[in-house]
């Protein structure tokens, strides 16, 4: 299911997609699971294949308390390298304003958000960005916190697990073992799978087998 996020800034990014990001779940500051992939911001929170895939775990964690998701914009790059990349960018464009150059490092739609979260004034010239502010930016590049509000309801969900017990289905024909002439395919079957391609394959193949036998 898509995930509703408490932070108001997320809603301003509705429609923006980010590729090659990492999302890590935290509960009571303890790291839980990490997921790499794509992210889609929506008008209530976050969605996209990676989020749909992780939402089951987030739903479980929510039963035990608050959940935070850390967004890492540069999963393959560590803090030290990012610090020098940021420093090099600010020096190369020393007389420009930070709001006009940060987009060379991060997606431009995120620039105002990151500056606000780092408490850096948009109009600040690059030569005046303090060391403390640069440090905050680098931390945000690797760990922008998203506070989970809830999972969105079943009407917004995409099935990726749950359904009829596989022991009750004859896979040679897709006929129910309990109810003769009832054929079970696709989302009806309890096959746990990541979102993003497998479900279509599942409904096509099981639909084909059922179609051949019913
Ligand atoms: C927004 C969205 C994006 C998705 N993206 C992907 C993706 O990128 N990759 C991927 O693999 N999967 C994706 N999926 C999941 C994939 O579409 C489903 O897993 C797949 O369509 C399931 O096929 P199905 O035949 O089991 O069920 P459905 O496609 O839901 O078909 C069920 C059919 O039964 C009909 N029906 C329901 N009740 C009755 C009734 N009482 N009488 C008669 N007919 C009825 C419905 O109208 C519907 O046509 C996505 C799903 C959504 C909603």
Atom of ligand 1 nearest to the CA of 198: 11
Our mutation pick for probing the ligand 1 site, out of 1, 38, 186, 206, counting the most ligand atoms within 8 A of Cβ, is 186
Atom of ligand 1 nearest to the CA of 186: 26
Neighbours of 17 (CB within 10 A): 14
Neighbours of 44 (CB within 10 A): 17
Atom of ligand 1 nearest to the CA of 199: 11
Tell me how far apart the alpha carbons of residues 164 and 18 are, in angstroms, rounded to a whole number.
Answer: 35
Number of H helices, E strands in the chain: 7, 8
Domains 3-74+144-152 and 79-142 agree in fold: no
CATH of domain 3-74+144-152: 2.40.30
CATH of domain 79-142: 1.10.8
198 pocket-lining for ligand 1 (C-beta < 6 Å) = yes
Measure the N-to-C terminal CA separation of the chain; round to a whole number of Å. Answer: 33
* Rounded distance from Cα 175 to ligand 1 centre (Å): 19
**pTM (2 decimals)?**
0.78
Q: Is 182 exposed, middle or buried (0-12, 13-18, 19+ CB in 10 A)?
A: middle
* Rounded distance from Cα 179 to ligand 1 centre (Å): 23
186 pocket-lining for ligand 1 (C-beta < 6 Å) = yes
Give the model's pLDDT for residue 157: 74
Residues 25/61, Cβ–Cβ less than 8 Å: yes
Domain positions in the chain are: 3-74+144-152, 79-142, 166-213
* Rounded distance from Cα 2 to ligand 1 centre (Å): 17
Residues 24/148, Cβ–Cβ less than 8 Å: no
Per-residue pLDDT of the chain (214 residues; tens, 9 = 90+): 899 999 999 999 999 999 999 999 999 889 999 999 999 999 999 999 899 889 989 999 999 999 999 999 999 999 999 999 999 999 999 999 999 999 999 999 999 999 999 999 999 999 999 999 999 999 999 999 999 999 987 777 778 778 999 999 999 999 999 999 999 999 999 998 877 678 899 999 999 999 999 9
Residue nearest atom 52 of ligand 1, based on CA coordinates = 158
C-alpha dist (Å) from residue 153 to 14, 146, 150, 160: 19, 19, 9, 14
The sign one gets for the Cα dihedral 196, 200, 201, 202 is: positive
- Spatial CB neighbours of 135, under 8 Å, sequence gap ≥ 6: 83
């Amino acid at each position: 299911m898509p995930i509703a996020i408490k932070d108001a800034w997320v809603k301003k990014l509705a429609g923006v997609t980010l590729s090659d990001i990492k999302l890590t779940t935290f509960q009571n500051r303890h790291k839980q699971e990490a997921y790499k992939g794509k992210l889609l911001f929506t008008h209530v929170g976050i969605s996209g294949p990676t989020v749909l895939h992780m939402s089951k775990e987030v739903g479980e964690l929510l039963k035990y308390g608050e959940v935070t998701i850390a967004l890492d914009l540069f999963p393959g790059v560590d803090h030290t390298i990012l610090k020098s990349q940021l420093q090099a960018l600010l020096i190369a464009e020393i007389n420009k304003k930070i709001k006009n150059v940060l987009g060379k490092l991060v997606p431009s739609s995120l620039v105002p958000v990151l500056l606000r979260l780092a408490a850096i004034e948009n109009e600040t010239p690059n030569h005046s960005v303090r060391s403390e502010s640069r440090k905050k930016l680098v931390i945000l590049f690797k760990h922008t916190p998203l506070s989970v509000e809830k999972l969105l309801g079943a009407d917004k969900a995409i099935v990726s697990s749950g359904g009829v017990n596989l022991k009750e289905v004859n896979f040679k024909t897709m006929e129910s073992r309990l109810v003769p002439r009832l054929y079970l395919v696709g989302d009806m079957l309890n096959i746990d799978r990541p979102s993003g391609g497998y479900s279509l394959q599942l409904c096509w193949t099981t639909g084909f087998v059922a179609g051949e036998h019913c």
